[in-house]
Amino acid sequence: MIQTPYLLFLGDAPDPLAAKVAQGIKDWRPDYAIGQYRMEGCRADMGLPDLSLQEAKAAGAKTLVIGVANRGGVISAAWKKVLVTALEEGFDLASGLHNLLRDEPDLKAVAEATGRSLHDVRVPSVTYPIANGEKRRGKRCLAVGTDCSVGKMYTSLCMEREMAARGMKASFRATGQTGILITGDGVPLDAVIADFMAGSVEWLTPDNDPDHWDLIEGQGSLFHVSYSGVTMALIHGGQPDALILSHEPTRTHMRGLPGYGLPSLEALRDLSLSLARIANPDCQVVGVSVNTAALDAEAARACCAEIEARMGLPTVDPFRDGAGRLVDALADL
Amino acid sequence: MIQTPYLLFLGDAPDPLAAKVAQGIKDWRPDYAIGQYRMEGCRADMGLPDLSLQEAKAAGAKTLVIGVANRGGVISAAWKKVLVTALEEGFDLASGLHNLLRDEPDLKAVAEATGRSLHDVRVPSVTYPIANGEKRRGKRCLAVGTDCSVGKMYTSLCMEREMAARGMKASFRATGQTGILITGDGVPLDAVIADFMAGSVEWLTPDNDPDHWDLIEGQGSLFHVSYSGVTMALIHGGQPDALILSHEPTRTHMRGLPGYGLPSLEALRDLSLSLARIANPDCQVVGVSVNTAALDAEAARACCAEIEARMGLPTVDPFRDGAGRLVDALADL
């Protein structure tokens, strides 16, 4: 568990896109984001107060979160200077970079000397159990996609926000690096050992109040041959009561697989449901989430209307239109 | 790749069942099994010559394979003495034990000093790629089960033997510890990192002659919620042309999951085929393999006949009756 609140390290981000982790934290956990730390030449700006390490410390920040991708896969000397100072000032560090903080001898030595923690969320820090398949109390909702990277995480985060606004009990459950940095906790599922995948999802979504919903971050796609095993573990470990179908309507082939076309939403519905019902016979598909970022407002409306008429399910772009209708569908279950 | 032939270490096996890895090697790769090494009190016997380390070395043995489970999860001092001497005599060591050879400081030191290899087949030794889903040359057959431990490995090994006898090109492809020790090579799929599962199966079953068959060892079951993600990776990474349905007719619930009943063979057929056709639209279910070990001869015949009539597929216990009809079905594809 990463200590909050955070100071967001934007480093020398060459453009706003490089700081998308910081953007995610600012968008979805604004109360965690006390300020930003920018270096010379930084071209990203979260619109947060620019704080020095000491100012952030005084304001209560506990962890410096690396909210930016590093250039060339190297943690530069300029970054190091800030990171080492942060440890000495009493911050923990958290990172989703491919290069692990713990693999940097200087950071490791200073963290040990100062008693601070290095959180590398790309690798698991927990010994997960083998899944036992036992029914757990509480409710669970999982987003499944026609492809990878179609908006499953944003769908679940939008739903959590809407449910919180309505006073419903809901927890976003992160299963990827960005989600973990946004929320401070979760399972880096793509890095878990095969035999323990489903067990890690059970661990992530334990017994809860009967009216509590876990909103489980989806990964991959049943139709994406590189990652479908990970998706399967989410479906069987998560034993969802509700599925949301996620789709990006302009994709022409499966991400990274030029030879593979996208499945229809009908095929996704039928396959997901038959698999989910192995673990939870009561599972239902409750709605469709469309990522319309590539469409203008009118085309987006037409796209959602066409899918809604065809599938007979509430269909929205939750980021554009709000997740109200998806949450209504959950509440009606 | 483990160097062959082997000397099979049976240690102080308390009973024949404890030596099932040795039994598998002797049954399926008799030409690899030059002899056995038994200690005081050993109650297993493969019917192979009892050889000293020096006799085995003179006979050409390259690797001492631990063909027996250790008691209490500890590599005993009595075993150690033999293993250290074997390294000094020029043997490599191979093991599928949970305790890794490499985690024993004395074995590691002696192996380094003598230049010998320690093969812990329980953990991967290769950096596998992410699956790319590209169509590969050659044919592939995968056994999928209604449950775990229903005879998938034995089915593939029986088929490989029958195909070799007919002069067909066929390779058993091991995906579990026992299979790897039997054949000397393979992927310990349950220990692979989630993102690389399907890629490891692609790596294991590369381009081959158009008339060559890979007989891929199955793992888990699509209907076993603890391990279904591993099965999924085999289906999508293996892109099988042919599926064999494997079944154990006396099982009353899924292995280790008392709350989960077994699926019908029809459900297994339909689900496996729809998933397999994502990676290979031409995939066919070609036969049923029934593990009738718990039935007498008459009941076994009746069971296979009933399934064959119901499913319209050749149905045999390949270990009892031979794999001829399953191989006929492959040849007819």
The pLDDT tens digits for A81-97 are: 999 999 999 999 999 99
Confidence of residue B306 (pLDDT cuts 50, 70, 90): very high
Task: Please judge whether B191 and A189 are an interchain contact, meaning their C-beta atoms are less than 8 angstroms apart.
Answer: no
What is d(CA A243, CA A178) in angstroms, rounded to the nearest whole number? 22
Task: Please judge whether A228 and B198 are an interchain contact, meaning their C-beta atoms are less than 8 angstroms apart.
Answer: yes
Q: Which residues in chain B touch residue A193, judged by CB atoms under 8 angstroms apart? A: 190-194
Tokens of A187: 């399972």
Confidence of residue B70 (pLDDT cuts 50, 70, 90): confident
Order across the sheet with B212-216: list the strands. B169-173, B212-216, B139-145, B242-247, B284-290, B315-316
Confidence of residue B171 (pLDDT cuts 50, 70, 90): very high
B94, exposed or middle or buried, with CB in 10 Å at 0-12, 13-18, 19+?
Answer: buried
Confidence of residue B125 (pLDDT cuts 50, 70, 90): confident
Express each pLDDT in A263-273 by its tens digit.
999 999 999 99
Q: Which residues in chain B touch residue A191, judged by CB atoms under 8 angstroms apart? A: 193-195
For A191, the closest of B194, B230, B271 (CB atoms) is B194
Q: Which residues in chain A touch residue B271, judged by CB atoms under 8 angstroms apart? A: 274-275
Q: Which residues in chain B touch residue A133, judged by CB atoms under 8 angstroms apart? A: 225-226, 254, 257, 259-260
For A130, the closest of B226, B231, B263 (CB atoms) is B226
What is d(CA B93, CA B85) in angstroms, rounded to the nearest whole number? 11
For B228, the closest of A189, A232, A274 (CB atoms) is A232
Express each pLDDT in A280-295 by its tens digit.
999 999 999 999 999 9
Distance from the Cα of A304 to chain B's closest Cα (Å) equals 26
Q: What is the pLDDT of residue A5?
A: 97
Q: Which residues in chain A touch residue B283, judged by CB atoms under 8 angstroms apart? A: none
The pLDDT of residue B80 is above 80: yes
* B-interface mutation test, from A98, A196, A227, most B Cβ less than 10 A away: A227
Express each pLDDT in A176-230 by its tens digit.
999 999 999 999 999 999 999 999 999 999 999 999 999 999 999 999 999 999 9
* B272 neighbors B285 (Cβ within 8 angstroms): yes
- The share of chain B scoring above pLDDT 90, in percent, equals 97
With tokens 């958290």, the residue in question is: A94
Q: What is the pLDDT of residue B324?
A: 98
The pLDDT of residue A322 is above 90: yes
- Mean pLDDT estimate for chain B: 96
Q: What is the pLDDT of residue B82?
A: 98
Q: Which residues in chain A touch residue B259, judged by CB atoms under 8 angstroms apart? A: 133-135
Residue B182: helix, strand or coil by DSSP? Answer: helix
The pLDDT of residue B170 is above 80: yes
Would the CA dihedral through A97, A103, A107, A108 be positive or negative?
A: positive
Helix then strand count (H, E) for chain B reads: 12, 11
Q: Which of A98, A132, A141 is nearest to A240 (CA)?
A: A141
* A-interface mutation test, from B146, B193, B196, B226, most A Cβ less than 10 A away: B226
Q: Which residues in chain B touch residue A274, judged by CB atoms under 8 angstroms apart? A: 271
Q: What is the pLDDT of residue B216?
A: 98
Inter-chain contacts counted by CB atoms under 8 A, chains A and B: 130
Distance from the Cα of A123 to chain B's closest Cα (Å) equals 10
Helix then strand count (H, E) for chain A reads: 12, 11
Q: Which of A280, A326, A288, A329 is nearest to A307 (CA)?
A: A288
B interface with A, Cβ–Cβ < 8 A, is 130-135, 189-195, 197-199, 222-223, 225-233, 236-237, 239, 254, 256-257, 259-260, 263, 271, 274-275, 278-279
Task: Please judge whether A232 and B229 are an interchain contact, meaning their C-beta atoms are less than 8 angstroms apart.
Answer: yes
Nearest CA in chain B to A201: B226
Express each pLDDT in B269-304 by its tens digit.
999 999 999 999 999 999 999 999 999 999 999 999
Nearest CA in chain B to A124: B193
Indicate the range of A122-126, B115-119, B171-175, B265-269 predicted with least confidence: A122-126
* B122 neighbors B96 (Cβ within 8 angstroms): yes
Distance from the Cα of A122 to chain B's closest Cα (Å) equals 12
Q: Which residues in chain B touch residue A189, judged by CB atoms under 8 angstroms apart? A: 194
* B-interface mutation test, from A232, A239, A254, A255, most B Cβ less than 10 A away: A232
The pLDDT of residue B327 is above 90: yes
Section A326-331 average pLDDT = 98
Task: Please judge whether B225 and A131 are an interchain contact, meaning their C-beta atoms are less than 8 angstroms apart.
Answer: yes
Q: What is the pLDDT of residue A70?
A: 83
Tokens of B59: 């006979």
Identify the bridge partners of residue A170 per DSSP, sorted by sequence position: A213
The pLDDT of residue A98 is above 90: no
* A146 neighbors A221 (Cβ within 8 angstroms): yes
Express each pLDDT in A30-75 by its tens digit.
999 999 999 999 999 999 999 999 999 999 999 999 999 887 778 9
Task: Please judge whether B230 and A195 are an interchain contact, meaning their C-beta atoms are less than 8 angstroms apart.
Answer: yes
Express each pLDDT in A122-150 by its tens digit.
999 899 999 999 999 999 999 999 999 99
Q: Within 13 Å and on the Cβ side, how many CA atoms surround B236?
A: 32
Section B143-150 average pLDDT = 96
Q: What is the pLDDT of residue A60?
A: 98
